[in-house]
Amino acid sequence: MKRRILLQAAPALIYAPGLALAQPAYPSKPIRYIVPVAAGGGSDLVGRTVTERWGKILNQPFVVDNQGGGGGVIACQATARAAPDGYTLMQGYVATHGTSPATRKLPYDPIKDFTPIGMIGATPNVLVVNSSVPARNVKELIDYLKKNTGKVSYGSAGPGSLTHLTAELFKQATDSFMVHIPYRGIAPALTDLMGGQTQVMFPGLAAALPYLKGDRMRALAVTGRKRHPLLKDVPTMEESGFKGFDAIQWYGVVGPAKMPEAVVKTLSASLTQVLAQPDMKTKLSTEAIELVQMSPEFFGTFMQIDIARWTKLAKERNIQLDS
């Protein structure tokens, strides 16, 4: 009798409306990891280094998908439109969730359209001058700029880039003037700085390091909150008298908005494990990155603050790009 009742009830149990079938544990398939730059650069190296180890912890491979262009706009749109199931993630960085929202009208909301997962790490920018500039510290550079108003120019990796906004922050903080010369990328900007076509620049530390060993440019200060271990003798901007002056190139992970809390927790906890591995610091040392662990909530707040600070500066300096 019991067997007959169970057999009769089985179809009803299987087809009962609203009865949820058990979902496989996350993750159960490969994870797409969008990197918003072309393959081969520093950001790409960060993404591939992290995901190689992340995949081993989660027992699922990460498939790196490079989508460069538009200051990260293309990658951000693809991520924001993806299903919020944890199988599409993006490596957000200072351009996608910092400087681009501050200087461009975007087809997405940099906060509401994304779920923060966590920070990976950050590296400072460094104030450098061509060797022909007589300044040996920030104070001497300011004196030099004020004695040579209109004669000094600074290069950047392009309009709206971190190198551009950091230099404008410096001009604002020091009440000085320099002519902006934008380039298409950091490499040609550094080439012209060393050649004397420009005199001042705020490149990322990783890009500047190989050239600081020569005699064609000189480091005066770093923009982080503390001295960088790779430039122990170079003071911070704050040590140089500019309290609160900070600008960093940071990297983190985001996903589409409205991801399940359980999935976010799994990703956050496993990312923390990746960053805790003993060799991670060494692997990312070529990009001068210091690892920074943040909870999803703290990382979300960090991005909001970064966007707000660069938006404020962009408005004050009248920096607004058409695209």
Cα–Cα distance measured from residue 89 to residue 111, given in angstroms and rounded to the nearest whole number = 15
Q: What is the pTM of this model?
A: 0.89
pLDDT class for 20, splitting at 50, 70, 90? very low
Q: Which two tokens stand for residue 95?
A: 């351009």
- State the number of CA atoms in the 13 A half-sphere of 218 facing the CB: 13
Residues 67-80: tens digit of each pLDDT = 998 779 999 999 99
Cα–Cα distance measured from residue 43 to residue 33, given in angstroms and rounded to the nearest whole number = 12
Average pLDDT over residues 3-30: 57
Asked if 219 and 231 count as a contact pair (C-beta separation under 8 A), the reply is yes
pLDDT exceeds cutoff 90 at 290: yes
Count of C-beta atoms within a 10 Å radius of residue 16: 9
Weakest-pLDDT range from 81-90, 122-131, 282-291: 282-291
